[in-house]
Amino acid sequence: MSSSSLNAEALLKQVEQDLKALLASKEREDPLMIGIHTGGVWLAERLHKALNLNSPMGVLDISFHRDDFNHSGLSMGGQGQSSQLPVTEGRHVLLVDDVIMSGRTIRAALNELFDYGRPASVTLITLLDLQRRELPIQADVTGGTLALGSDQQVKLTGPHPLELEIRQK
């Protein structure tokens, strides 16, 4: 996928279609959708509405669970905002983030999520996979993959409109 084909709306449509199919195949009705602050929340809001879910949506801030907190400070997470989650115990959770790269954000999100209870399952949904894994964590549903140079990063801006930008570090 080249930078000219980074259409966030098209990727989101693909995620929506694939997620609907996955939920139908696993017979998961009324799952709990949780977005990781901030880009994941924007995507989760759109998916929550598109899937017409009944349960309230949750917001997850992972700032204090990051393993690079001492190096990055709060700039990597939600600026120290608190998570806002409905009861997760025994629920099928749809965890949404904008980009999966190393897997460290998702590890931190799982730590925060389990602080609130033990879900029945967690399905990971991302808009983009940058395929630079440092931890054995994979998305169940992703809109696409992207290979970036070591001096590049991708940033989701939004929430209206949702746009993906490739930037130089």
Mean pLDDT, residues 89-93: 96
Amino acid at 115: D
> What is the pTM (predicted TM-score) of this model?
0.89
Model pLDDT, residue 6? 81
Mean pLDDT, residues 73-89: 68
Q: How far apart are CA 59 and CA 48, in angstroms?
A: 12
Contact indicator for 121, 92 with CB cutoff of 8 Å: yes
> What are the structural domains, with CATH classification, of the chain?
3-68+80-168 (3.40.50.2020)
pLDDT tens-digit readout, 38-62 = 899 999 999 999 999 999 999 999 9
SS3 117: coil
Model pLDDT, residue 169? 87
Structure tokens at 14: 């693909």
Residue percentage of the chain with pLDDT more than 90: 76
